[in-house]
Amino acid sequence: MYETDLTDFQWQVIQEILPDTRRRKYSLRLIVNALLYLTKSGCQWRLLPHEFPPFPLVYYYFRRWQADGRWAALNQSLVRRHRQRAAPSRQASPSVAVLDAQSIKCSERGVLDKGFDGHKKIQGRKRQLLVDTGGLLLAAPVGPAHENDRVGGKEALKKLAQQGFERLDLVLADAGYDGQSLAQWTREHCGWRLETVPGLTGSGGFTPVPTRWVVERSISWLQWDRRLSRDYECETSSAEATVYLSSIRHLIRKF
């Protein structure tokens, strides 16, 4: 009915990852369709079209799957499948991750844990995004905008370690994450190398660094979904789940 609705094959892929045989009044497929529609369109919960289940039920599953980590798990499985589907000889787990932050404005009211990013002059929150060399999202914790990149980066690396990407060895980041303490912590607690490289400047202004530019493209991909053009979520955990939903929507369309 809507562009964001899952096809039969796409829903089959999700069912293989998250099998569920429980009988319900409303199918899980319809609930997931509602969440993908909300992420893409940016509408309010109460304004979900009547073709979808009642919004309290949709919100219940959004929060429930956020609490048990199912959105992150679904995103991780789709990343692995897409990597192998794109190139059969490619390993499911990446060996290199790229880290960067995005400061985003918040809604004017009803938002907790927000701050002011003095560098970018933004009142809101900061998304720490970790992607592979193809730009696929691996982890995305959210914190207040005033949070130091090294503090937020450590939280992002913790989230990435929980995802279980066994081949991961190197994390690339910009100068905002520079510092011996974070590099040492990454080596001791995660077993990875953290390399920071400053942005290059020339006569044409900022020049992206090879490989590390893919995270900037991923940030642009997220902006295609209206729900992420501004942070409307009350809690940072819900904001993180919305980022995963956006990533899931982009990944499942490739199947």
Instruction: Answer whether residue 193 is part of any domain.
Output: yes
Instruction: Answer whether residue 49 is part of any domain.
Output: no
Q: What is the pTM of this model?
A: 0.93
Instruction: Answer whether residue 64 is part of any domain.
Output: no
Instruction: Answer whether residue 1 is part of any domain.
Output: no
Instruction: Answer whether residue 18 is part of any domain.
Output: no
| pLDDT per residue as tens digits for the range 30-52 | 999 999 999 999 999 999 999 99
Instruction: Answer whether residue 54 is part of any domain.
Output: no
Least confident of 44-53, 105-114, 125-134, 141-150: 105-114
**For the domain that residue 216 is a member of, what is the CATH number?**
3.30.420.10
The residues facing 120 across adjacent strands are: none
Counted domains in the chain: 1
Instruction: Answer whether residue 14 is part of any domain.
Output: no
CA distance 83 to 10: 16
CA distance 87 to 24: 38
| pLDDT per residue as tens digits for the range 46-71 | 999 999 999 999 999 999 999 999 99
What range defines the domain where residue 222 resides?
92-234
From residue 96, alpha-carbon distances to 99, 171, 192 in Å are 10, 6, 10
